[in-house]
Structure formats: C-alpha cells, structure tokens
Structure 1
Amino acid sequence: MECAQCGLDLTAHRGCREVVLRCPSCGAAYDLREYSAEMDDDFEEEMGFVPMDRI
C-alpha cells in the first residue's frame, strides 16, 4: 500500500487503541479503513494478532 502524498510504502503502527498506516518518509497517517480494499492475506494475517481490547 502506498502513501497518497508521496507514493512510498506505508507501514502499520500499533497504538494503545488503534492501528494506523503511516508513511515512514512524510509521516502521513491513514486509517485502516481507507486501505481496506488493498489489504492482502499477509497483511490481514499480521493484523489478526493485534489485540483490539487494550482499554
């Protein structure tokens, strides 16, 4: 998945309450919903292990 601002590959960042996609170059952050159509099986498998009830 590529950054809409600069075109570089996005990385997933896990916060306390959410996971966002962030560009390592320009720092832009995107909600996962914006890229849900582009997520492949490998990405979904990795995100499957993110605990979502950390509160």
Structure 2
Amino acid sequence: MAVPVVLFHRLAQREYQAARRWYAQRSPQAARRFQDEVERAVQGIASRPDQEPL
C-alpha cells in the first residue's frame, strides 16, 4: 500500500520555514531537532491519516 502524500497550505509552509530559520539562527542543532520532529509528525499522519488529530 502506498503511503499518502501530505500536502501543506502555502501559509503553513511559510510558517514552517520561518520557524526553522528562527531555530537555525539560535542553534543548528535545535533547527535539526525541530525539522526531525516535524518530519516525524508528518510521517505519522501519512501512515495513519485517520488516527492523527489535525
């Protein structure tokens, strides 16, 4: 079974990018952890779209 693609509203994408830049300015490690957490959440939503709150 194919994993569904998760699409983001353009404003949500901008907000994510701004938040990642904010973290990166303070700590590259924090920016990586932030990105990893977002990716983990998105993968969870993609693998179980009916079980994750939106």
TM-score band (shorter)?
A: under 0.3
Q: Which has the higher strand share?
A: 1
Q: Which has the higher helix share?
A: 2
**Higher RCO (CA < 8 A, seq sep 6+):** 2
Which is higher, the Rg of structure 1 or of structure 2? 2
